[in-house]
Each structure stands twice: as structure tokens, then as C-alpha cells.
Amino acid sequence: MPILTNLDVMLAKRKMSLTELSEEVGISLANLSILKQGKAKAVRFSTLEAICRVLECKPGDILDYIDENEK
Amino acid sequence: MQKQRLNYQMVSVLHFLFGLLLVISFVSLPILLVMSIIDITVGEGLTSGIAILPIDFLLDVKISLPHQAEVVTALEGGVLRLPMDEMTLGWRITIISQAIIQYALGVFILYILWSIFHSLKVSMRDQENVFLQGNITRIRLIGYIFIVSAIVEFVYRKIIRHFLVDEFIFRGEQVPFTLKMEFLDDILLGVIILVIAQIYRVGTEIKEEQQLTV
């Protein structure tokens, strides 16, 4: 998938665990785990907004795009 | 919540009913096989006693009307009743083997239906998801079985018509006839079920995408 998530990088920067993030944003640990592992097929804006609010970052800090042809 | 509980209960009831039918079918199958073997070898007519085959008469009948006009019409078809104990060995093997194959296909369909409702029951208990990958294959299999059953019926009737029936005498006259080929309903049903399987597959993909939407 060309869209990559850097959630683990942001969690390390904010010194927060996935469980803590799950409690703060109100999203299940299972769903956040899917996002972190890059298995998610779509992300709701409401989810992105909640994560960015808690981690005090922009969407671009969590999401990245890599062209598969360049890879 | 009430609706979810009702759905689960309905699925549970259907699961139980199909399980019961399956057990009865499995118990009956060996009995049917034993009786069929006795039928074929001894010719006692234990299984059904008679074979009934629907036929179309190809008989033109002239009807005289008051003003000497004539109308030619065809009689409606009927049924060919063949007592088992008057059949030759070839007839008995043909009729009984067809019945066993059709019965086995029917039992297999029952098993697949029971499997579908079993998987739905387990899934609905845990996560309320009715779109399961395994059920796509099961529904498709039911569709293919209906089509195969229709083909088996067609082949057997062709065998009976061309190899087992020499002539048909009606009121002292040799009459041409054909066996009714009523298998088109089964083929149509099989195709409809395959379409349903395709719709179910799309539903499963949509559900999977929804589950992976964070």
C-alpha cells in the first residue's frame, strides 16, 4: 500500500503507548493496532482529528505516501 | 439489541432444523442403499415399488365438428408407471442409481445449509458479522449442485429414452413419445443461487473494508 503510517514514530516522540492513545482518543486498541501495522484500508477524518489533537501533530506527521514505482 | 437477539434466535432455530434433517437423511441413506441393492439384485420393489416418469404424447387427434370441419390437436402428456418387479436389470440399475445420486446431492445440500447456519450462529454470537468468506464458497456450491442435478436428470432420461424404451403402445397402436425434460427449473434455480453468491461476495468485501476502516 502506498500510504504509510508513522504512528509508532509519533508515539515514541510523545512518549506515549498505544494503550494510552487508545484511551485518550476513544478508539479501540484493536483498531489503532490495525492503523499502526498499516493494515487499515481507510481512516475517518474524525479518527485523524482525534489522534492529531492528542499527539499534537499534523496529519502529515502520521501519514506518508511512497510511490510504489520509485520503490 | 432486541433485533440482534431475534436474528440470532432465528439463525439458531434454522441451524437446529437443518441439523435434524441432516441426521434423519444420514440415517436413511444406508437403509436406502441396502434396500436399493436388494431391489437391483432380487427385484422385489422394496424402495418405491414403481418408477414414475412424466412423458409427452406425440399424438395427433382429429376431432369432427358439426359442420364437418376437422381440428387436429395433440393429447396432453401423462405419466409412465413402471412397476419395479416387472423391470429388467438394466432398468432397475438406471432408476435406482439415479435416485441414489439425486438423494446424495440433496443430503449434501442439507449439509452445506447446516454449515452455513452453523458459521452464522458462531459469528453472530461473537461479533454480529453475517458476511463470512467461507459462506461464499458454500452458497456457490449449492448453485453448482442444482445445475449438476439437472444435468444428471437430463443424462438419465436420455439413457432411458434411447436405450431402455423400444416402443410405446397405446390402445394397440405404437405411439411416439418423449420424456419430459423438466430440468430447466433446476438450472435456473442454480444460476439464481450463483448470482446470490456473487452478491454475498460483494457484501463480504464491503464488510471487510468497513472493519478495516479506523
The nearest CA of chain B is from the CA of A44 a distance in Å of 6
Q: Least CB-CB distance to B212: which of A32, A34, A47?
A: A34
B209–A41 CB contact, under 8 Å: yes
Measured between alpha carbons, how far is B111 from B23 in angstroms, rounded to an integer? Answer: 9
pTM value? 0.73
Residue B210's identity, in one-letter code, is Q
B214–A44 CB contact, under 8 Å: yes
State the CB neighbour count (10 A cutoff) for residue B151: 14
Measured between alpha carbons, how far is B170 from B78 in angstroms, rounded to an integer? Answer: 12
Residue B207 backbone dihedrals phi, psi, to 5 degrees:
-65, -40
Average pLDDT over residues A62-68: 86
Which residue of A21, A22, A41, A51 to mutate against B (max B Cβ within 10 Å)?
A41
B214–A39 CB contact, under 8 Å: no
Higher pLDDT, residue B2 or B25: B25
Q: Which residues of A touch B213 (CB under 8 A)?
A: 40-44
pLDDT tier, B129 (very low <50, low <70, confident <90, very high otherwise):
confident
Measured between alpha carbons, how far is B70 from B63 in angstroms, rounded to an integer? Answer: 6
Mean confidence (pLDDT) of chain B = 78
Q: Which residues of A touch B212 (CB under 8 A)?
A: 34, 39-42
pLDDT beyond 70 at B56: no
Measured between alpha carbons, how far is B92 from B98 in angstroms, rounded to an integer? Answer: 10
Taking CA–CA distances from B208, the nearest residue in chain A reads A41
Q: Given CB atoms, is B167 within the 8 Å cutoff of chain A?
A: no
B214–A40 CB contact, under 8 Å: yes
Q: Which residues of A touch B208 (CB under 8 A)?
A: 41
Spell out where chain B has E strands. Answer: 50-57, 60-64, 70-74, 78-83, 169-170, 173-174, 177-179
Nearest Cα to Cα of residue B143 among B72, B100, B196, B94 = B196
**What sign does the CA torsion over B182, B186, B187, B191 have?**
positive
Which residues lie closer than 8 Å to B24 by C-beta, 6 or more apart? none
Q: Given CB atoms, is A52 within the 8 Å cutoff of chain B?
A: no
Taking CA–CA distances from A50, the nearest residue in chain B reads B214
B214–A35 CB contact, under 8 Å: yes
% of residues, chain B, pLDDT over 70: 68
Q: Given CB atoms, is A31 within the 8 Å cutoff of chain B?
A: yes
% of residues, chain B, pLDDT over 90: 26
Which residues lie closer than 8 Å to B146 by C-beta, 6 or more apart? B186, B187, B189, B190, B193
Average pLDDT over residues B88-107: 83
pLDDT in tens, B148-195: 999 988 888 888 777 766 666 666 667 666 677 777 888 999 999 999
Q: Given CB atoms, is A35 within the 8 Å cutoff of chain B?
A: yes
